[in-house]
Amino acid sequence: MIILQREAKGERLCDNERNIFKKFIETIVLPRVYENVRLC
């Protein structure tokens, strides 16, 4: 959540934090989105 707040403020994230954020999106957000699309 801290990463999201910092991203919202427009602060530049270091590569490590950005990779963690990307991994979080790919592993949690995308599968749910695809699941919702399949349910439609």
Tell me the per-residue pLDDT of 1-31, one tens digit each, with 9 for 90 and over.
565 665 556 566 567 888 888 898 889 888 8
Q: How confident is the model at residue 38 (pLDDT cuts 50, 70, 90)?
A: confident
Answer whether 21's CB lies under 8 Å from 13's CB.
yes
Q: CB neighbours of 32 closer than 8 A, spacing ≥ 6?
A: none
pLDDT of 7: 58
φ, ψ at 12 (rounded to 5°): -80, 125
| Residue with tokens 């602060």, as numbered in its chain | 11
Global confidence as pTM: 0.41
Neighbours of 7 (CB within 10 A): 14
